Structure 1
């Protein structure tokens, strides 16, 4: 097999798994046109169409699916063989691709990644921050981060940070005019600023105390997908927000915001790093997992 043949086969599997040229190009950090040319070259050499292309999707043909089923484990074995050699380096090289919620990218990773990258200068860390649930492995990521949701089968979960908590906060000027809720149900009488996730969902606010759980869907003048806009509106006295305590820690410490209903908002389990429970891990991922475990053992979070 020529080197060009191998590269074209690899390009085909990337496009087929991503179900699109743009998605595969994003994962591989190459241009979509180069992947398209590689697939056309492979189809011409084999004399058979491998992918059905429409304006909305790219899917394997019957022949393409049969080839994909054979190639996927074979290319995985090649990658593992190369990675086993990589493990003998003093410091592994390669790319670590992580899919994380936006709060983790904003709060957890900024303090963690510089230390990791200083220990492993040969590793490039690629972080995609999004708040939608996807199959991170099918999308080409090495690992993902989630909160305490149900994990897929055959996944290992490692704590990435310590417990966190939500807080309900407002500006002193708001409380001076509207008063403070003394019970979660009284939040319904207040102007609230709500967050809409990329999925389109606006989650209810959840409170818990002594085994009693209360979920409410507050109303208010602003709904946004931007936490920065929500925070600025809250500081301006528009209404209350419920958000991660880390997002508003400086404003709380400075007195620009004040919290309410703290006894109804207990801590919850922090983010979990999850990855497949396979015997061989890519060297960059193994290095990161070992680093995370070491940080926890050292009491750094």
Structure 2
């Protein structure tokens, strides 16, 4: 049997990871049709079907799953070898694959990513958004961003973004005019709520803190969703009170489309962390990003210290 083209095997692994010919083509800078032809060529060469393809989905067959499982270590070794050479260059080149939660993708990463990619024009950043904790290596990512309670002990973690964040409550003026304003978190039991459900299926619990007192409530939901855009729209329309990241609510609070609820009760917690596995040969794009985040944080700390002087 003739040797399989490495490019076809790499293309197969990319399609298998993204579950999409179009997304894989966009990432690799080629057309979906050229990838489809490459996979037909590979399947003909192997004599087995690797993908089940419909107009709506791309899934691996059993043979495809086995091939991907065997390929991952070899492709990882090749990437490591390339990264080792890459480390000898003046400027790192390649892909940086991150997995981040929605709040980070929306409110924290845009500024950091923009400045990082401007500083490293030969690096391509690929971002997947997922609120559940994932095994970054198994899922094909170089690093992830999560909050402290979700970090594994065997991961290296460094702060990224704000060091403290808060959940705050808000509602539409029309809702407040109709239902009144709760004076204490326990009053929320008589109010309607817009709740967030994580991709794991867990629904966010509302916990409020003030002067050392913590109150946890389970209000009656009018809407439960996994989309902050849908949740914000529901709150603006007056369906109920929303309790979420302060960053998500800032624009609405500034415009007055939402007004604060229980403003003296909040839930404060530690900001997110960039986490990655300890590896002797860290990919050059990841090393550059880690150094950038550390320097960024150091610069912010120095500025804050100067402002306090």
Q: Which TM-score bucket, shorter chain as reference? A: 0.7 to 0.9
Query: Per-residue deviation at 1:102?
Result: 1.3
Mapped partners of 2:194, 2:295: distance in 1: 39
* 1:1-301 mapped onto 2 (5 Å cutoff): 4-10=4-10, 18=17, 25=24, 29=28, 31=32, 33=36, 36-37=39-40, 39-40=42-43, 43=46, 57-59=60-62, 72-162=72-162, 163-299=164-300
Query: Per-residue deviation at 1:299?
Result: 0.5
Query: Per-residue deviation at 1:139?
Result: 1.8
User: Given the superposition, is the C-alpha separation of residues 201 and 68 from structure 1 closer, same or farther in structure 2, using an over 3 Å criterion?
Assistant: closer
User: Given the superposition, is the C-alpha separation of residues 208 and 22 from structure 1 closer, same or farther in structure 2, using an over 3 Å criterion?
Assistant: farther
SS at structure 2 position matched to 1:256: coil
Mapped partners of 1:39, 1:282: distance in 2: 29
SS at structure 1 position matched to 2:108: helix
Q: Which runs of 5+ in 2 are unaligned?
A: 305-309
SS at structure 2 position matched to 1:247: helix
1:68-93 superposed Cα distances (whole Å, 9 cap, x missing partner): 55x65444333222212212222211
SS at structure 2 position matched to 1:222: strand
Query: Per-residue deviation at 1:255?
Result: 3.4
> How many corresponding residue pairs?
293
Mapped partners of 2:152, 2:41: distance in 1: 33
TM-score normalised over the length of structure 2? 0.79
Provide the aligned C-alpha RMSD in A. Answer: 3.5
User: Given the superposition, is the C-alpha separation of residues 10 and 237 from structure 1 closer, same or farther in structure 2, using an over 3 Å criterion?
Assistant: closer
Conserved? CA contact 1:184–1:214, under 8 Å: yes
Conserved? CA contact 1:136–1:142, under 8 Å: yes
SS at structure 1 position matched to 2:280: coil
Conserved? CA contact 1:174–1:237, under 8 Å: yes
TM-score normalised over the length of structure 1? 0.81
